[in-house]
């Protein structure tokens, strides 16, 4: 039910922010990240601007000055505060942002009983949009905390141990298959139209590459062997001094949402760039799957660690499907204009909200990005 989806989504964002102090919520540790306070406000601005203002008669905008602060990349909706400077927005305060959320939530409750189908569709989109920002809130605060010498934990409780199945190869005979979203249920516009693709026969690993396996790659000199790397990746290794995944520490621990913990050799390796994933696959005598191989394998028996551990880099560039057309209006800026210079990731991560992912879901990031919960699954 839409009202329940809206209620639980909005409440979950506040629950994720609850462990953070006002100072925590203000942090922006790099231009690609945003403060937690900004995530809470931007998702609220989305509902106010795209749903309430056009569809709720008599709606009163909470503060018309804030549109410039909390618009992200919607060129058609007016000017925006520079993304790298979101951490400078000490005003409005976190308390004011929470009041903003309450104001918008009350108005959405008034709209829901009389909302036309177009408004209902935008509310559903807004909920899934907010779920994306819930994951970003966690990945962004983790990066910010990693910059603190105290290495503070976002969650005090210990992480649950991961017990992956023994590594095995799942064979797919190839052929013409259908990919992309079809049927009932929500999907972003970039997940369709559903269409046919031709796959050559392939094999894909039943599970993700583990920290222990990746440590073997490091010990074997993987970060010192240029023949394993794509050219741009090797340039980054040299320029930025990469020697290990982003949050692996010199003392053998790994920093995560639960603080710095001993490396778990059974846990999936995360915080890898596309370049690191490709280099490991080359070293292992394998490759990354295409996004279509991944989607085909997702329906096969034994395919484990699908969407609850780490996003999985694929060898597919982020491009439109045949027949793709962006939605009309401002929401048409949601996905289509980013279809260049990025790689597709499939699956989901330990930070992905429950129920948000699906087999046709297409996440995307630049190949150098490594602050996400991104790992890899091998294919051959």
List, for residues 101-146, the tens digit of each pLDDT value.
999 999 999 999 999 999 999 999 999 999 999 999 999 999 999 9
Q: Is the peptide bond before 193 cis (omega within 30 degrees of 0)?
A: yes
Q: How sure is the predictor about 332, in pLDDT bands with cuts at 50, 70 and 90? A: confident
The reported pTM is 0.96
Range 294-315 average pLDDT: 97
- Evaluate if residue 87 carries a pLDDT over 90: yes
User: Per residue in 219-243, pLDDT tens?
Assistant: 999 999 999 999 999 999 999 999 9
Residue 182 has pLDDT above 90, yes or no: no
Residue 335's pLDDT band, with cuts at 50, 70 and 90, is confident
Tell me how far apart the alpha carbons of residues 265 and 213 are, in angstroms, rounded to a whole number: 7
Answer whether residue 295 shows pLDDT above 90: yes
Give the pLDDT mean for 67-86.
94
What proportion of the chain, given as a percentage, has pLDDT over 70? 100
Residues 145-168: pLDDT tens digits? 999 999 999 998 877 888 999 999
User: What's the mean pLDDT in 193-199?
Assistant: 98
**pLDDT value at residue 329:** 84
**Residue 213's pLDDT is what?**
98
Give one DSSP letter per residue of 77-125, joined into a string: G-----GGGGGG---S-HHHHHHHHHHHHHHHHHHGGG--HHHHHHHHH
Task: State the Cα–Cα distance between residues 51 and 118, nearest whole angstrom.
Answer: 9
Which residue spans within 257-338 are E strands per DSSP?
259-262, 311-317
Q: What percent of the chain has pLDDT over 90?
A: 94
Instruction: Give burial (CB, 10 Å; 0-12/13-18/19+) of 235.
Output: middle
């Amino acid at each position: 039910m839409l009202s329940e989806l809206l209620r639980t989504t909005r409440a979950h964002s506040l629950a994720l922010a609850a462990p953070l102090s006002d100072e925590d919520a203000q942090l922006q540790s790099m231009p690609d990240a945003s403060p937690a306070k900004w995530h809470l406000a931007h998702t609220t601005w989305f509902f106010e601007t795209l749903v309430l203002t056009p569809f709720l008669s008599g709606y009163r905008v909470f503060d018309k000055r804030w549109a410039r602060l909390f618009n992200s990349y919607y060129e058609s909706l007016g000017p925006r505060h520079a993304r790298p400077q979101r951490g400078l927005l000490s005003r409005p305060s976190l308390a004011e942002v929470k009041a903003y959320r309450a104001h918008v939530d009350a108005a959405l409750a008034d709209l829901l009983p009389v909302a036309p189908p177009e408004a209902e569709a935008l509310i559903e989109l807004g909920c899934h949009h907010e779920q994306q920002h819930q994951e970003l809130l966690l990945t962004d605060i983790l990066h910010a905390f990693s910059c603190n010498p105290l290495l503070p934990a976002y969650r005090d409780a210990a992480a649950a141990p991961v017990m992956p199945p023994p590594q095995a190869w799942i064979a797919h005979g190839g052929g013409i298959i259908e990919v992309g979203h079809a049927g009932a249920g929500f999907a972003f516009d970039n997940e369709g139209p559903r269409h046919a693709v031709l796959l050559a026969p392939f094999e894909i690993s039943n599970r993700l590459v583990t920290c222990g396996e990746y440590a073997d790659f490091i010990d074997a000199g993987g970060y010192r062997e240029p023949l394993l790397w794509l050219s741009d990746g090797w340039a980054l290794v040299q320029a930025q001094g990469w020697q290990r995944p982003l949050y692996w520490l010199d003392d053998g621990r790994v920093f995560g949402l639960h603080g710095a913990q001993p490396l778990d050799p059974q846990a999936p390796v995360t915080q890898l760039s596309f370049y690191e994933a490709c280099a490991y696959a080359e070293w292992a005598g394998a490759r990354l799957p295409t996004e279509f191989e991944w989607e085909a394998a997702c329906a096969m028996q034994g395919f484990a660690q699908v969407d609850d551990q780490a996003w999985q880099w694929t060898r597919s560039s982020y491009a439109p499907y045949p027949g793709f057309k962006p939605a009309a209006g401002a929401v048409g800026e949601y996905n289509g204009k980013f279809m260049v210079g990025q790689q597709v990731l499939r699956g989901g991560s330990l930070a992905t909200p429950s129920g948000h992912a699906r087999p046709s879901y297409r996440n995307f990031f630049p190949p150098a990005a490594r602050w996400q919960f991104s790992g890899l699954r091998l294919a051959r």
